[in-house]
Amino acid sequence: MKLIISAFALLSFLGCGTDPAPEPTVDQPEVQAQEAEPLVAAQPNAKTLQVHGILVVPPTHEATVHPMFAGYVHSIKLLPGERVKKGQVIFELTHPGYIEKQKNFLSAQALFSQQDQEWKRQSQLHLEKIISDKDAAAAKNEWAQAQAAFLAAQAEMALMGIDLSVLNRGQISPTLVVRAPIDGYITEVSAHQGMFLSENQAAMTITDLREMHLELEVFEYDVALVRPGQSVSFYFQDRPDQVYKAEVHLVNKAVDAQTRTLVVHADIDQALQGSLTPGMFVAAQIAID
């Protein structure tokens, strides 16, 4: 009996020794998360400066449109996002004062024409010694006043956009048209039908997207590393896999008292102009080698 138990124990011992030992678990690297990193951030470079900024349009390529003369919005149909051409009618205004101003122009024009003829007659009489110097000077003064009133009324018509050839045919318009001062896109509309607009009240904003650039914020202790001509790589937070190129154009000399940063202007690749949207935030690297 003891022999049988010993044999059984021996077999049990040998059987246990033949079981393979479990392999240790090794944590696998998260390859997918690494591949999803932005191209700029996935390739750190000791010779680049990490900064943030915004896409902006220079002042020369953005226009705030407001009426030269106060009036009520008679017609406005454009919406934000629509493209307009320079000189295109973007809205119309109406006001009783427009009629009065056109009437004043016609009166000033008629008076000047009368005074011009009178001055020519008085001038000839003065040359023939028929009238005195005093009378000739008075006639010339009246002519000069009439001319000044006519020229002022003419300039006012030009500001109103009134076609003088039409006005001289006796066609007085109760409405004025406001035209786009630049090519671009409507980016903001603050006027609506029937609204009264004063001379200093903005009706809409037009933005030309062909000359956008970057405004990058650089800390004051890093600004010595930045100079015009350096290469810039930038991307948007929602599109980290799309990297765009720019070049440092200008370094501002004023330090923001609160953030202790300076603005660095960078020109965007010309091929990108018109395809990006101003106001968008970017992450960027400036090559400082």
Residues 186 and 90 both lie in one domain: yes
- Across 196-214, average pLDDT: 92
Both tokens assigned to 168: 């001289």
Residue 183 lies in a domain: yes
CATH number, domain of 218, equals 2.40.30.170
pLDDT of 173 above 50: yes
Residues 255 and 239 both lie in one domain: yes
Comparison of pLDDT for 16 and 265, the residue scoring more: 265
Comparison of pLDDT for 26 and 226, the residue scoring more: 226
Task: Give residue 277's pLDDT band: very low, low, confident or very high (50, 70, 90).
Answer: confident
Residue 27 lies in a domain: no
CATH number, domain of 128, equals 1.10.287.470
Residues 121 and 227 both lie in one domain: no
- Across 258-277, average pLDDT: 86
Q: Which of 73, 112, 84 is nearest to 186 (CA)?
A: 84
pLDDT of 61 above 80: yes
pLDDT of 7 above 50: no
Residues 202 and 220 both lie in one domain: no
**So what's the pLDDT on residue 6?**
43
Taking CA atoms, 116 is separated from 97, 127, 131, 153, 169, in Å, by 28, 17, 17, 16, 21
Global confidence as pTM: 0.70
CATH number, domain of 84, equals 2.40.50.100
**Cα dihedral across residues 175, 181, 187, 188: positive or negative:** negative
Residues 246 and 132 both lie in one domain: no
- Across 173-191, average pLDDT: 95
Q: Phi and psi (nearest 5°) for 63?
A: -130, 130
**So what's the pLDDT on residue 46?**
53
Domain of 196? 62-95+174-207
Residues 228 and 119 both lie in one domain: no
Residue 1 lies in a domain: no
Residues 52 and 66 both lie in one domain: no
Residue 145 lies in a domain: yes
- The domain tally of the chain equals 3
Comparison of pLDDT for 23 and 248, the residue scoring more: 248
Average model confidence (pLDDT) for the chain? 85
- Cα separation of 147 and 143, whole Å? 6
Share of the chain above pLDDT 70, in %: 84
Q: Tens of pLDDT along 108-143?
A: 999 999 999 999 998 999 898 888 999 989 999 999
Residues 229 and 270 both lie in one domain: yes
Comparison of pLDDT for 237 and 160, the residue scoring more: 160
- Cα separation of 203 and 90, whole Å? 10
Residues 90 and 103 both lie in one domain: no
Residue 142 lies in a domain: yes
pLDDT of 2 above 90: no
Residues 90 and 181 both lie in one domain: yes
Residue 25 lies in a domain: no
Q: Phi and psi (nearest 5°) for 122?
A: -65, -35
- Cα separation of 49 and 54, whole Å? 16
Residues 101 and 119 both lie in one domain: yes
Residue 32 lies in a domain: no
Residue 164 lies in a domain: no
Share of the chain above pLDDT 90, in %: 68
**So what's the pLDDT on residue 16?**
44
Listed residues 132, 158, 184: the one ending a domain? 158
Half-sphere exposure of 249 toward its Cβ, with a 13 Å CA cutoff?
Answer: 12
> Scanning the structure block, which residue is given the tokens 């935030």?
281
Residues 148 and 278 both lie in one domain: no
